[in-house]
Amino acid sequence: MKLSKKDIGKWVTYSNGFAEERGKIKAFDNERKVAWVVFHCNENWDNDEWKNYTGQCTDYKYLTF
């Protein structure tokens, strides 16, 4: 998988076989194959408020679109 700027803000699902959670891509690093995903933002998903929250560094292999 290789992400681009158009993937910022897309919904993804994190799944590691034990837990599953939805979030939005905030940033990414294609060389390291990690994305920073915002999972919790007090339900402030509208009007791009979610961008003000910290993203969790997540390996691409655990993400699906």
Mean pLDDT in each 10-residue stretch from start to end of the chain (65 residues)?
96 95 98 97 91 96 95
Contact at 8 Å (CB) between 30 and 3? yes
> Where do the domains of the chain lie?
5-64
pTM of the model: 0.93
Q: Which CATH number fits domain 5-64: 3.40.190.150, 1.10.8.60, 3.90.1300.10, 2.30.30.140?
A: 2.30.30.140
Residues 6+ apart with CB under 8 A from 14: 20, 21, 22, 23, 37, 39, 58, 62, 63
pLDDT at residue 1, as a whole number:
85
Using DSSP's 3-state secondary structure scheme, residue 61 falls into helix
Alpha-carbon span 25 to 50, nearest angstrom: 10
